């Protein structure tokens, strides 16, 4: 029995790693695309150009969160449930409902952006110079929502390889077309590049979604309303959360723009692009498989606790070595990824890198509320968190500029972790096990050592000591992953196959 339990545990860890590896590879590719794109914008447009791009993108994303009703997340659960039931008719009807809903919400987002384009320009930039930019960008809201309708089908049906390939092809083709636009038109190329990126991503997702055979049937609008009600209710709560999150990010960017200027907005965007894009690849990769798996066992609190702990362990073991590298070599990374003009953002990244430790754990726990369809718990939890984070961001920037934003990021996620843990513990008897706490404490200690070395030891000695810390972090992660995944056994098995 003990041996069977060990095998099941190892299998669970391997499934987590399998989902992570598929989308981890995709995210690495997307990171390369993002690095090239960011480098092009940084060199050709400078911090101000990156600031304009950031404001245009964050504004349209905010409108999208107002109008998309959270269907990208809420519909995955319905499609996955229909797929697991092995009822082909149920799958077909669910997919038909989702596709109708994304058309309606996508058109709504486009119309709202067109109607309020002038006001959005004035609010974002203090003038109406970008009115037509927002009008043109309105079409991206429809493209993005239609993309959601295709991608949730692939995710819900567990066609992760199709979904991964669609992301790769969409990102690569969009980049190839976007670079000439930035080169020849500079700032004027931002809007066409954003539209082309949204279009190519949609086309790639449509192509691979058509590989999933879904029967075509007639379904009435009344049945669409009945079947779509659950998605819309949960989606509405998610939408409110998205609105609050994007609204908070928008407020912070506007505050930075008014107090510090577009250059600081560009530096802020660049700094968090490194954290949220280059480090956040793990969150994106894991969530693709983690959320459907967690939804499938959400009724069992014991199984839920076990899976959340396993997910949190893997997240920390993968992220910690990456974060220690950033803490030691972030100044070099910023110059390579952007240019020397962006070096001021490093003070923010130091603190934010430590904050990722708290974010990774709170992220794993917070999915419990979604998996259990606890919409009220999820909403109030997010509302309190967003108010706290926004307040700390504004105070941090007001008193300590960019470094204050990094510190507020870390403090916000520490508070958020405590919050979601206490709520999950009270409502669902959730606990963090000793194995996880040991991993978390050790890797956080190593990261803090890297932080202190980077801030207090002169170069090149800081690099030498830092590399030692990185080696320790990598060694510890490998040792702990080997216990859970039997990595040496897998490597030996693979080696033996090669020699046969």
Tens-digit pLDDT profile for residues 378-411:
889 989 999 999 999 999 999 988 899 999 999 9
Average pLDDT over residues 1-14: 52
Burial per residue of 355-379, b for 16 or more beta-carbon CB atoms within 10 angstroms, e otherwise? bbbbbbbbbbbbbbbbbbbbbebbb
Secondary structure in 3-state letters for 211-274? CCCCCCCCCCHHHHHHHHHHHHHHHHHHHHHHHHHHHHHHHHHHHHHHHCCHHHHHHHHHHHHH
Range from 198-202, 335-339, 363-367 carrying the lowest mean pLDDT:
335-339
* pLDDT, tens only, 223-234: 777 777 767 777
Residue 12 CB-density burial (10 A; 0-12 exposed, 13-18 middle, 19+ buried): middle
Residue labelled with tokens 């499609």: 79
Task: State the pLDDT at residue 23.
Answer: 53
Task: State the pLDDT at residue 328.
Answer: 94
Residue 491's CB is within 10 A of a number of other CB atoms, namely: 11
The most distant pair of C-alpha atoms in the chain lies apart, rounded to whole Å, by: 70
The CA–CA distances, whole Å, from 155 to 150, 238, 257, 295, 362 equal 9, 18, 38, 13, 23
Task: State the pLDDT at residue 123.
Answer: 84
> Mean of the per-residue pLDDT values for the chain?
83
Task: State the pLDDT at residue 37.
Answer: 74
Q: How confident is residue 451, by pLDDT bands cut at 50, 70 and 90?
A: very high
What pTM value is reported for the model? 0.73
Range from 77-91, 235-249, 383-397 carrying the lowest mean pLDDT:
77-91
* Residues in the chain, overall count: 500
Is pLDDT of 365 > 60? yes
pLDDT over 90 for what percent of the chain?
A: 32
98 vs 104: CA distance, rounded Å: 10
466 vs 460: CA distance, rounded Å: 10
């Amino acid at each position: 029995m003990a041996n069977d339990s060990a095998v099941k545990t190892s299998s669970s860890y391997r499934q987590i790693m399998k989902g992570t590896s598929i989308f981890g590879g995709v995210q690495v590719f997307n990171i390369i695309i993002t690095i090239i794109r960011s480098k092009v914008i940084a060199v050709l447009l400078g911090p101000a150009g990156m600031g304009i791009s950031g404001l245009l993108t964050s504004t349209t994303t905010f409108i999208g969160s107002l109008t998309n009703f959270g269907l990208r997340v809420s519909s995955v659960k319905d499609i996955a449930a229909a797929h697991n039931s092995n009822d082909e008719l149920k799958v077909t009807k669910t997919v038909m409902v989702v596709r109708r809903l994304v058309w309606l919400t996508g058109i709504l987002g486009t119309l709202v952006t067109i109607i309020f384009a002038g006001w959005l320009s004035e609010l974002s930039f203090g003038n109406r110079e970008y009115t037509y930019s927002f009008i043109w960008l309105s079409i991206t809201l429809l493209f993005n929502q239609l993309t959601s309708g295709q991608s949730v089908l692939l995710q819900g049906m567990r066609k992760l390889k199709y979904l991964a390939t669609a992301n790769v092809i969409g990102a690569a083709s969009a980049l190839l077309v976007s670079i000439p636009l930035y080169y020849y038109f500079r700032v004027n190329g931002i809007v066409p590049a954003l539209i082309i990126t949204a279009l190519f991503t949609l086309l790639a997702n449509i192509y691979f979604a058509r590989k999933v055979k879904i029967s075509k049937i007639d379904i009435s609008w009344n049945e669409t309303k009945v079947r779509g009600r659950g998605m819309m209710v949960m989606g509405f709560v998610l939408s409110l959360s998205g609105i609050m999150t994007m609204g908070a990010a928008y407020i912070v960017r506007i505050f930075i723009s008014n107090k510090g200027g577009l250059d600081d907005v560009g530096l802020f965007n660049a700094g968090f692009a490194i954290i949220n894009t280059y480090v956040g690849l793990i969150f994106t990769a894991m969530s693709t498989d983690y959320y459907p798996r967690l939804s499938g066992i959400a009724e069992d609190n014991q199984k839920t606790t076990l899976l959340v702990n396993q997910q949190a362990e893997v997240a920390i073991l993968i992220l910690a070595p990456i974060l220690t590298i950033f803490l030691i070599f972030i100044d070099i990374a910023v110059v390579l990824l952007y240019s020397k003009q962006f070096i001021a953002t490093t003070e923010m990244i130091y603190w934010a890198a430590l904050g990722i430790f708290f974010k990774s754990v709170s992220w794993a726990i917070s999915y419990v509320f979604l998996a259990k369809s606890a919409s009220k718990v999820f909403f109030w939890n997010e509302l309190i968190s967003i108010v706290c984070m926004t307040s700390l961001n504004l105070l941090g920037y007001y008193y300590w500029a960019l470094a204050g934003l990094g510190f507020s990021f870390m403090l916000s996620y520490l508070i958020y972790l405590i919050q979601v843990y206490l709520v999950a513990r009270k409502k669902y008897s959730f606990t963090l096990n000793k194995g996880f706490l040991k991993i978390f404490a050790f890797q956080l200690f190593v990261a803090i050592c890297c932080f202190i070395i980077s801030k207090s030891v002169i170069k090149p000695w800081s690099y030498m000591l830092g590399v030692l810390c990185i080696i320790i972090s990598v060694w510890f992660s490998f040792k702990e992953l080997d216990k859970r995944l039997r990595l040496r056994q897998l490597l030996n098995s693979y080696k033996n196959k090669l020699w046969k």
